[in-house]
């Protein structure tokens, strides 16, 4: 069966005043795929993700999510996307559950539907036990897992994660990777950036290597083995 393309990135450019951060990216991403985006510091990974997440606008080009133009109809695209940025977006004085209730209401969820979504997302990130504790008692890894849970409340079809395992403990890293696999198996498309080739190797169906705002190569790990071996790529 032909794979369904869910994201089409076309001739994408993002310029800041002195810097072209994304310089003509074209890319297709499939439904249910775990797609890894690798590249050294400053390659443009976060810039690309922030455009996919509708947080920043392209200078030119477009991204189509299920054929909806992100440039023309960002409000429709937003509903399809969950975004986990590098910075943790939580109210640290509130408990984990109160954070989820708050974010759920921001997404327009109420009552029983909100309750069921909270139960599901807590199950996905395996964070049921400490959910009544204030967030400032959480480890960095637990905060990140809560952030991922919050980004899943509105049941997005695409989850965009900017270095979700950076700086987290081993247990949280294991939980996050297992959540990513579970979501993909259930039909969610996951875009995932990392500095670590060995991490995306184990989990991503395909990956792209970004350098100076351009995609140098894209494929499965098996397809890219030669590329990484011959060029002795470092991702940092």
Ligand X SMILES: Nc1ncnc2c1ncn2[C@@H]1O[C@H](COP(=O)(O)OP(=O)(O)OP(=O)(O)O)[C@@H](O)[C@H]1O
- Enumerate binding residues for ligand X (CB under 6 A): 16, 19, 21, 39, 41-47
Least distance between ligand X and beta carbon 42 (Å): 4
Least distance between ligand X and beta carbon 23 (Å): 10
Least distance between ligand X and beta carbon 196 (Å): 12
- CA gap 179, 185 in Å, rounded: 10
Toward ligand X, which CB reaches closer, 42 or 226?
A: 42
User: In the chain, which ranges are E strands?
Assistant: 5-15, 20-30, 34-38, 60-65, 68-69, 81-84, 158-161, 189-193, 206-211, 214-219
Least distance between ligand X and beta carbon 236 (Å): 8
Toward ligand X, which CB reaches closer, 130 or 211?
A: 211
Q: Partners of 8 in the beta sheet?
A: 28, 64
Toward ligand X, which CB reaches closer, 21 or 149?
A: 21
Toward ligand X, which CB reaches closer, 47 or 188?
A: 47
Spatial strand order in the sheet of 206-211 = 81-84, 158-161, 189-193, 34-38, 206-211, 214-219
């Amino acid at each position: 069966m032909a794979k369904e393309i869910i994201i089409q990135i076309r001739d994408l450019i993002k310029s800041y005043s002195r810097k072209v951060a994304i310089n003509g990216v074209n890319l297709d991403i499939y439904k249910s795929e775990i797609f890894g985006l690798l590249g050294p510091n400053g390659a443009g990974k976060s810039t690309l993700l922030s455009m996919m997440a509708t947080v920043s606008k392209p200078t030119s080009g477009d991204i189509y999510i299920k054929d909806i133009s992100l440039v023309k109809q960002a409000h429709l695209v937003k509903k399809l996307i969950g975004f986990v940025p590098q910075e943790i977006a939580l109210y640290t004085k509130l408990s984990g559950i109160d954070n989820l209730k708050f974010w759920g209401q921001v997404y327009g969820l109420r009552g029983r539907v909100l309750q069921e979504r909270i139960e599901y997302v807590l199950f996905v990130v395996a964070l049921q036990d400490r959910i009544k504790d204030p967030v400032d008692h959480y480890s960095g890894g637990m905060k990140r897992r809560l952030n991922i849970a919050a980004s899943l409340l509105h049941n997005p079809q695409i989850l965009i994660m900017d270095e979700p395992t950076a700086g987290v403990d081993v247990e949280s890293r294991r939980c996050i990777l297992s959540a990513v696999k579970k979501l993909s198996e259930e039909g969610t498309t996951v875009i995932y950036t990392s500095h670590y080739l060995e991490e995306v190797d184990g989990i991503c169906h395909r990956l792209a290597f970004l350098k100076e705002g351009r995609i140098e190569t894209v494929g499965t790990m098996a397809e890219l083995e030669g590329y990484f071996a011959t060029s002795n790529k470092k991702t940092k």
